[in-house]
A and B are shown apart, each in its own frame.
Chain A
């Protein structure tokens, strides 16, 4: 138990560095795909360090509170993942973080912040059912919602849940703010509704949200790795392949509307989930 706790603690400390590094590589590869040279790999860390050193400007007290809760929730999610806890518990904590980000944006009267918050709510509406279905399919195969049981299962989940991996890919695209689903706040077009949900966050508060995003990146990659939990090499290949595909999709698609996101992510995602779960239950 103590060793598990220490492992989870180490993972929580390492997670922002992993997430930041992945973001840096992401920006570099994206630049290369657009035939640009791109920023250094450590650029996300420079950005966050700079933001931490900027003057603190807040509109009201909610803006000061919400990023802290978001960051705590994201860090707690990674810690729970390290503890191999219940997937549903992780899901609920992740939701609390997302809701507080939206509350902070809603607390400011700026129309850009408001519309960004509404779109973020739409995004949550799209990815949360998909994420729950992925967890349900895990439990149908392994018989429990615990991550520990996924590891104890002894076989990779991917051959049994191939369609669920695509469903998780949809959730990943929305949560990582990638095109075509980057409607609330975009990593490329910074002018788009003045960065939407992030409009009113500035300086150190924005830095906290960025660090929370790194935790989320690490968590989602961790969830992806559960599909091939038996081999470190297999998990790494799966993650690298999935993330590269994500980058290609990000670069070849345009930013779409929230209607497209709901129809596409929820429609296709739910259909794939039902197919996979029915097929899987007949297989057993």
Chain B
């Protein structure tokens, strides 16, 4: 195995997640945090909830994007060093949800930054969020030309 192979192995085994609440009702946020509890224990896959975009590999966004926080979302995305992936969680993150017609709402996360995986639900279940991270790893795999 060459060094690149080792690094790619590391990339797939250690996705560090930064979680950004982009105006969510906290329903999805609680489900994201539930993944860290002993019941789901995402650390067994090497997933860590890291509070710092500069250390993170995966950006998990919950909630609708509005005109106030779209620059913050873009900023956090730009601060993450590549290779990186973005997961939109919940009905609001996907499309704006029930708030999509509101005057202050831009819409889903993909209106501002490129999204790799969409996790539906209102709120999304912890199981489906973990599934979303695993899917994101498949996306990274394809990006790296491994799949």
Contacts and interface: CB of A to CB of B under 8 A. Distances in A.
B44, B55, B82: most-surrounded residue (chain A CB, <10 A)? B55
Contacts of A53: 4, 7-8, 10-11, 83
- What's the interface size class on A, roughly? 35 or more
A195 B46 contact: no
A274 interface: no
Interface residues of B, number: 27
A200 B7 CA distance: 22
B67 interface: no
A156 interface: no
Contacts of B14: 43, 46-47, 49-50
A34 B44 CA distance: 13
Interface in B88-131: none
Interface in B31-75: 38, 41, 43-46, 48-52, 54-55, 57
B143 interface: no
B10, B45, B81: most-surrounded residue (chain A CB, <10 A)? B10
B81 A54 contact: yes
Interface in A19-76: 27, 31, 34-40, 43, 45-57
B52 A195 contact: yes
Interface string A78-113: 000000000000000000000000000000000000
4 nearest A-B pairs in the assembled complex, by CB-CB distance: A49-B10, A191-B51, A53-B7, A50-B10
Interface of B: 4, 6-11, 13-14, 16, 38, 41, 43-46, 48-52, 54-55, 57, 81-83
